[in-house]
Structure 1
């Protein structure tokens, strides 16, 4: 709740600061901390005592605030804001709001990547709004792939329910972590890191993917680089890729200039 209400967090921090400034001497005396050679030294000692106290109060306050409302089913009739959707009126919420049936829809892998993804994010399942979780079903036809991409707002966890895939991610230190995942294997992809999945087998592979955000976002690496209107000469300079290759990739991915 506090992270979604900066004003509340700021007020709470300010109150703690005033509490510390007004009571540090009394606390020092009560816990037996000796005074330093000057007031500032003593105040520094008091702050060492008060820091754990501040942390405990912050946790308690956050927990109590989080219990004010059980859920916030998103109201899709208004635009989504930085903190998510506005809450649907509680009297209008029904059991069906908490049930998602979209995974009954048949997978469609007839696309260039030979992959089907059925997302259940806040936009598709408004009950997830504000809960910090979401889920999707994924199906890879033979040769299917999820090209290099990132989720800026959430970490990902995939569980393979049928078949096998190769999956991996690249850390910020440019170290690659990848492995063949068999049926019932799971792998995590930390938030914001480039990752991929590919089915190199001869049968369809399926999985369930969860995220640590109700709207994790999606950015394909190649599309971001070459599917835009950044002038080719600038892209050539910053990517170390030649003119002919840049223009070829832009043509493939819908870029201009």
Structure 2
């Protein structure tokens, strides 16, 4: 005996399938779930030291000469593997900038610890969301969107702490990815409505 399924019934069956596919797609875009409490190190003793990281203990520097980043991600702190979290300490000299960049695998939550920072990101509609942060202020940069931080104060340094929703957030610097990866200079000149000598000057500046 043939079984027929009405249009309304087929829609009811299709909806859960679409929800499952959407959840599956979202899950694959994030850090992989681990099926254990944590990932044990290979050929090493497992004790509390494995879950301890002291690489950020010397971050405080009132007079940094250049913009610097101290990371606590999966590469530096293997215990973070599978935990979907990492940290970074950002140190800005006076008038220091963290150039436009993206983190393809995580959102970033930034907390200003010292000084002030001008921050912003651009969404996929090319709208800029810009804000000046004081000590104690927080700002979130959505995952994958181009963003920056700038210490506009020419007399005082600034320090911020960033938390990421991934053990390996990734970093894609916009200036370096565009001008230092070998893209044809004529393509860049036409794309930025300028000439090849200007492109070459930018490339040279980014190499130093």
What is residue 30 of structure 2 aligned with on the other side?
Answer: none
Structure 1 residue 40 and structure 2 residue 9: aligned? no
Distance 1:162 1:200 in 2: 13
- Aligned counterpart in structure 1 of residue 129 of structure 2, from 166, 177, 180: 177
* Match of residue 115 from structure 1: 67
C-alpha RMSD of matched pairs (Å):
2.9
Retained in 2: the 8 A contact 1:226–1:254? no
What secondary structure does 2:6 align onto? helix
Task: Give the TM-score normalised by the residue count of structure 1.
Answer: 0.67
Q: Secondary structure at the match of 1:188?
A: strand
More contact order relative to length (CA 8 Å, sep ≥ 6)? 2
TM-score (norm 2): 0.82
**Matches of 2:12 and 2:148 in 1, distance apart?**
46
What are the Cα deviations for residues 41-75 of structure 1, in whole angstroms up to 9, with x where unaligned? 27x6166168559969xx9xx9xxx68410115xx
d(CA) in 2 for partners of 1:244 and 1:227? 15
CA distance in 2, matches of 1:206, 1:45: 58
Name the CA shift for 1:67/1:247 in 2 (closer, same or farther; >3 Å): closer
The structure with more radius of gyration? 1
Instruction: Detail structure 1 runs of 4+ shifted over 4 Å in the superposition.
Output: 49-56
Count of paired positions: 194
Q: Which blocks of at least 5 consecutive residues in structure 1 are unaligned?
A: 1-37, 74-87
Instruction: Select 1:69's aligned residue among 36, 47, 62.
Output: 36
